[in-house]
Structure formats: structure tokens, C-alpha cells
A and B are shown apart, each in its own frame.
Chain A
Amino acid sequence: MTSPLTRVRRPFASAEQEAAGDPTPTAWISLLVRRPLWRSVVLVLLLILIPLVITGATFTTIAVYCLMYMGIATAWNSFSGFSGYVSLGHAVFFGVGAYTMALLSTHWNMSGGLSMFALLPLAGVIAALIAIPYGYVALRTRRHTFVVITIAFFFIFQLLAFNLSFTGGSAGVVLPNGQFSAADYNDPFYYACLVVLVLTVAVAAGIRRSRFGLQLFAIRDDEDRARSLGVKVNRVKITSFAVSAVPVAMMGAVWAFFIGQIYPQFAFNPALDVTIALMAFIGGFGTIIGPLLGALVLEALQRYLNLYLANADLYLVIYGLLFLVVISFLPEGILPSIAGRLRQRRLRSQNSTTVSTQESR
């Protein structure tokens, strides 16, 4: 595996390739490929255009969920992937965001419409405020114990949602109607998710390049050594935990508004925790592009499988088996394994051509 501090290798037009005299693509494509910022801008523009071009409700619903999970997986990865602390409790923040949206909008008698999205930052702030004490307690433990304690926190929050008087208990909360036109009802949610996603990716990429990110990677590689080198490990871990909670809560808030009525067992959903870990794994831990691709592939696959099979139990079996097969053949995750094999093949073909040039040197 690559060291965590190396940047992700660009898939096309690498220096070796150009040196080897590969045919370069047309100028503007290579510009896109070589400038990550340009690439992102074009990608975002494409994402903005998608709902204008494809308007089927099934498609846009799936698109909303894809963006939602891409954001959540990126946020999760910016903590767990970077620091090595595997959190199975991020669904807490999703639920906190959903309940913030539901309870505040009904409390203030909001009438739906775009103004509802003004609650998103508030949901993020509340989640971060919860994440600080939560992280302070949980991050005293490591590895497996940390995993279990995040699970314990998750069940505490689910129980609270079921049993506290102000949450509406198992009857759930009905949110104000969206008041959007039926023809493009999904579009506001799509763009809300897109905005949160872009911010999340920007923050995650920023962290990855920053001193703060380096400190996180140092903790992942060897926490005791990082501490002895002067990294304020507790502060760094808790800050990262709280930062990663914000987008998850915002997506939870969008989700609550999107589906219109929330119940404790779906707002605080134990499967969400494992799903996002799975997405990040499939794409590649600790990278930026990994969770994005993993979430996109997996969420689309899940939604289509669910629609196509129309049998939740059969779907569970197929989904689980599929994953077991994938892990048996591609133990590093789909994308890293494929990338690794491609790189190997390229190196091999380069070696066979460079042997002669080296001899002539």
C-alpha cells in the first residue's frame, strides 16, 4: 500500500507515461486531467446540469440519495479514514440532524419551501456540539474498543429518540410539506445535497493538504509516536470528529425534509454506520475520490437492486454475497485493487520497453 502521505496518483497522463511517449490527449482534456481544481469545477457543473437534462423522478430520487451518501461517506472518511479510528456511530449525527430539522421546523410552524434549508447550518452546529463531549469520551479508547463504544453511543441516542417526550417517540415526527411543484419536486433537495457535498469535499481536501491533516495521518500510523513528537493528539482527534459530524447532520436534515416523516429507527439507523464504512472501503480509505466513487457506485447499486428485486430479504442476501465475493477477489477494495493492477501492468509494459533504453544509456 502507498504511504498515507503520498498524494493520490493521477489516473491519466502521468509523468512516466509522457516520458514513455504515450500519445497525449487533446490539449483541453489534458488540462482538465492535470489541474484537479479545473476537473472539480467541470464535475460540479456537470452535476448541476444533470437534473435539468434527466427529469425522471426515479432517476432524480436515486441521484439525491447518491449525493447524500457521497457527502456522508466523505465526511466519515475525513475522520475515520484519516485518523484510523473506525467510527460506527456517525449515524448519531445523521439522526441528530434529522431530528433538528423535524423538531425545529414543526416547533416554529414553518410552512415548507426553500426557507427550510436555512435550518441546515443549525443542524450542523448542534451535531458538532454533541460531537465534542461524545468524542472526548469515546476517543479515550482505541481500535476495537472505540468501535464498540461508538456503537454504544449510537444505541443510547436511538433509545433517547424512542423514549424522550419531545421527540414524539415511536410515532415519529411529521415535517411540513415541501411546497415544491410536483414535476421537479426532487430538484431543491438535489441542489441542497450538492451544496453540502461540495463544501464537504472542499473541507476534506483542505484537511488532507493541511498541517492538521498531517497530524491526523501521524495519529493513524502511530499515535504514541505522534504524541511524543508534539502532536496534541486529543485536540486533533476531537476536532476532526466534530468537523466530520457537521456534514452528516446536514445531510440528515435534508433527508428528514425529503422524506417528510421520520421515525427513530430510520433516523438512527444502525445499517447506515456500516454502509458508509463499506462505501469508503470500496473506494479506498483516506483518499478524497475513494468515498465519492464508492458511495456513488454502491448507493446507485443498492437503490436499483432494491427497485429491481422488490424484495428486501432477497436483496440483503444478494448484497451480502456480492460483497463477500468482492472482498475475496479484491481484498483492498474495488478501486484501489483495480488501480493497483493497472499500475502493475503499465509498469510491466514500461519495463519491457525501457530495458533497451537503459542499456543504450
Chain B
Amino acid sequence: MNLIEIGLIDGVLTGAVYALMAAGLTLIFGVLDMINIAQGIFVILGSYLSLILEQHLGIGLLPGLAITIPVMFLLGVFVEWAFIRRIGAENRVTMSILITYAVMIVVEGVLLLTYGSNYQSLSASYVTNSFDLLGHYIPEIYVYGFILSVAAVVVLYAILYRTRLGTSLRASMDNAMAASLVGVNVKRVSTLAFGIGVAVTAIGGMLFGAIQPFTPNTGYDLISRLLSIVVLGGLGSVGGALGGAMVMLIIEDVVSTVWSPTWAPLLYFAVLIVVLLVKPTGIFGRQAVRSQ
């Protein structure tokens, strides 16, 4: 296999994990009209929760999700209820950034206090094993991660398009005022959307922690990537987040295998800027999402 093919395969496999994390972010944006800066640290928190379950209770990574997903969901619901709900229409952009940033540094500080800044990693047999695909070794976790992420995205889509809650969610994303006029409880939907958006980070965090080592500081790097993905795909579009994640990760993996890992992130951001120059609403973005 040549380098470009290797980059493509790695990009698609890891892209699915990022797609899942970005889908949560864009869902929160769509319903609440805000950027959740804490999404990156929530992913890392998900990684640490998996680590705690595995190290102290001997619960494996996959079964552990049965615990971490509800925990992260409740955390999301709490954060929305306690802080996000207080943000008014005025200065909404700034306020949401500042509040979620404060949440982020609290979580980061707690993780640093308990675990320090040493690199941690999740381990299991399927994390360390890898298999041979035409001379290129692919870690098994990449494939499991891909399958799990795709499954989670399918579940997310099923919730969005096949349930009553999903209809309310999409109605609130399209137009919160109109949704509340036809009887959608936008407040409750917002809380649930934030909860679901954070809950996916439990899966994302477990996979992220299994793919690469992490520290509490990894959240900064992660959130900048997730935001780029979401904006590239078009803010508020779940499908766009999936497409954006694939495009970004394939570009990054191809560039880093073919050329150099040093400059791959630069290209990643450069693509974002070039795309926005041509189409300010992102690739799959709706026209003028809630203009001021």
C-alpha cells in the first residue's frame, strides 16, 4: 500500500471518532445557539472516567460505557441547568464562551489535582492488538472505534429523526421561537440537547483515550479541532459535522504520512480558512444561520 492509501484509511477510521464528538458539539450549537468550549475537556473527562472504571473497579472499556454515558449525560444536564440557562440573548456569543470556558478550567483543574499532568492511556487487548492489511498494520481499536462511532451516530440520527424528542430538537434548531409557539418545551429540549451533546463525549472520550495518550491539557488541542470541524461542516448541521470530520482527518492523516506530521495541523486550519473564504457558512451550512 502506498502512503496516500494508508493516510486515507487512518483518516476515515479516526474521522468517525471525531465525527461523533463533533456531532455532539453541533447539536448543542443548533439547539442552544452557543459554542460549548468545554466539549474538549468533556471528552478528556470521558477518557479519565473510563480509566477510573478500568483501574479501580476492573470494568472494561466497552461495558464501562453503560456507566460513563449516563454520568456524562447527567453532567451535561446539570451544567445546562445551573449555568447555561442563565445566558440571555444579549452578548450570548461571549457569555456562552466565558461560561463554558469556566466549566472547562474547573474540570481541567480537578483532573490535574487528582491525576497530575502525566500522560495516561487506556489499555485492553483490543487496544494493543493490530492486524495486517496488505502490509500496513492497523490497530484493532481503530476498527472498533469506527464501528462504535458509526453505531452511535446512527443512534443519534434515530433519536433525531424517529422520535418525538428528535422532532422537538429539530424544530428548536430550525427556529426556537416558532417551536415554542407550536407547543415545544424549548427549555426542556435545550437541557436534553445539552445532555445528549455531552453524553456522546463518553464514547468519544473512551475511544480517544484508547487511540492516543492524553493529559488534562489535551482538551485545548481537541476543542480547537472539533470547532474547526463543526464550522467547516456548517454550524448546526449534524451531517456537516460528520462530513467535516472526515475531510479534516483524511487531510491531516494523508499530509502527516506523506509529508510531515509537523505541518499537518497547519494545513488543517488553512483548509478551514480557505473554505470559509469561499463559503462563509461552511460546506453544508444553511444560509445565514440565525443572523443577528
Q: Which residues of B contact A119 (CB under 8 A)?
A: none
A19 touches B (CB below 8 Å) = no
Determine whether the beta carbon of B292 is less than 8 Å from that of A145: no
Determine whether the beta carbon of B273 is less than 8 Å from that of A327: no
A149 touches B (CB below 8 Å) = yes
Determine whether the beta carbon of B108 is less than 8 Å from that of A316: yes
Determine whether the beta carbon of B266 is less than 8 Å from that of A277: no
Chain A, Cβ-Cβ closest to B236 = A144
Chain B, Cβ-Cβ closest to A286 = B91
Determine whether the beta carbon of A285 is less than 8 Å from that of B91: yes
- Residues 11-26 of B, flagged 1 when their CB comes within 8 A of A and 0 if not, give 0000000000000000
Q: Which residues of B contact A144 (CB under 8 A)?
A: 29, 34-35, 93, 231, 235
- Residues 215-236 of A, flagged 1 when their CB comes within 8 A of B and 0 if not, give 0000000111000000000000
Chain A, Cβ-Cβ closest to B227 = A148
Tell me the smallest distance from the CB of A152 to a CB of chain B, in Å.
4
Determine whether the beta carbon of A145 is less than 8 Å from that of B98: no
Contact partner of A143 among B37, B82, B90, B93, CB < 8 A? B93
A156 touches B (CB below 8 Å) = yes
Q: A155-B269, A159-B266, A274-B97 are in contact. Are A327 and B109 (CB under 8 A)?
A: no
Determine whether the beta carbon of A148 is less than 8 Å from that of B228: yes
Known: A278-B98, A278-B101. 12 other contacts (CB 8 A): A145-B231, A149-B231, A149-B272, A152-B224, A156-B273, A274-B37, A281-B91, A281-B98, A318-B109, A323-B102, A324-B103, A328-B83
Tell me the smallest distance from the CB of B192 to a CB of chain A, in Å.
21
Among residues 63 to 116 in chain B, which have CB atoms less than 8 Å away from a CB atom of chain A?
82-83, 86-88, 90-91, 93-95, 97-99, 101-106, 108-110, 112-113
Q: Which residues of A contact B90 (CB under 8 A)?
A: 1
Q: A142-B292, A144-B29 are in contact. Are A327 and B83 (CB under 8 A)?
A: yes
Q: Which residues of A contact B227 (CB under 8 A)?
A: 148, 151-152
Determine whether the beta carbon of B88 is less than 8 Å from that of A316: no
- Residues 290-330 of A, flagged 1 when their CB comes within 8 A of B and 0 if not, give 00000000000000000000001111111111011001100
Bound CA span A270–B273, Å: 19
Determine whether the beta carbon of A320 is less than 8 Å from that of B106: yes
Main secondary structure of the interface of A (DSSP, over half): helix
Q: Which residues of B contact A1 (CB under 8 A)?
A: 90
Determine whether the beta carbon of A331 is less than 8 Å from that of B266: no
Interface size class of B (residues with CB under 8 A): 35 or more
Question: Shortest 4 CB-CB distances between A and B: which pairs?
Answer: A316-B109, A317-B109, A320-B106, A313-B112
B159 touches A (CB below 8 Å) = no
B262 touches A (CB below 8 Å) = yes
Q: Which residues of B contact A140 (CB under 8 A)?
A: 276-277, 280
Determine whether the beta carbon of A321 is less than 8 Å from that of B106: yes
Bound CA span A159–B255, Å: 15
Tell me the smallest distance from the CB of B92 to a CB of chain A, in Å.
9
Can you list 21 residue pairs at the A/B interface with Cβ under 8 Å? A80-B94, A140-B277, A143-B292, A144-B29, A149-B273, A152-B224, A152-B227, A152-B269, A155-B269, A159-B263, A163-B266, A224-B291, A270-B220, A274-B101, A316-B106, A316-B112, A317-B113, A320-B103, A320-B104, A324-B103, A331-B86
Tell me the smallest distance from the CB of A81 to a CB of chain B, in Å.
9
Q: A285-B91, A313-B112 are in contact. Are A151 and B224 (CB under 8 A)?
A: yes
Determine whether the beta carbon of A156 is less than 8 Å from that of B105: no
Q: Which residues of B contact A84 (CB under 8 A)?
A: 292
Bound CA span A137–B37, Å: 23
| Residue with the highest number of chain B CB atoms closer than 10 Å, among A88, A145, A149, A159 | A145
Determine whether the beta carbon of A145 is less than 8 Å from that of B282: yes
A153 touches B (CB below 8 Å) = yes
Determine whether the beta carbon of B280 is less than 8 Å from that of A145: yes
Among residues 42 to 89 in chain A, which have CB atoms less than 8 Å away from a CB atom of chain B?
80, 84, 86, 88
Determine whether the beta carbon of A86 is less than 8 Å from that of B269: no
Q: Which residues of B contact A142 (CB under 8 A)?
A: 280, 291-292
B270 touches A (CB below 8 Å) = yes
Q: Which residues of A contact B98 (CB under 8 A)?
A: 274, 277-278, 281, 323, 327
B265 touches A (CB below 8 Å) = yes
A147 touches B (CB below 8 Å) = yes
Chain A, Cβ-Cβ closest to B221 = A155
Bound CA span A133–B227, Å: 22
Tell me the smallest distance from the CB of A87 to a CB of chain B, in Å.
10
A202 touches B (CB below 8 Å) = no
Determine whether the beta carbon of B269 is less than 8 Å from that of A156: yes
Determine whether the beta carbon of A155 is less than 8 Å from that of B276: no
A160 touches B (CB below 8 Å) = yes
- Residues 250-284 of B, flagged 1 when their CB comes within 8 A of A and 0 if not, give 00000000000011011001101100110011100
Chain B, Cβ-Cβ closest to A331 = B86
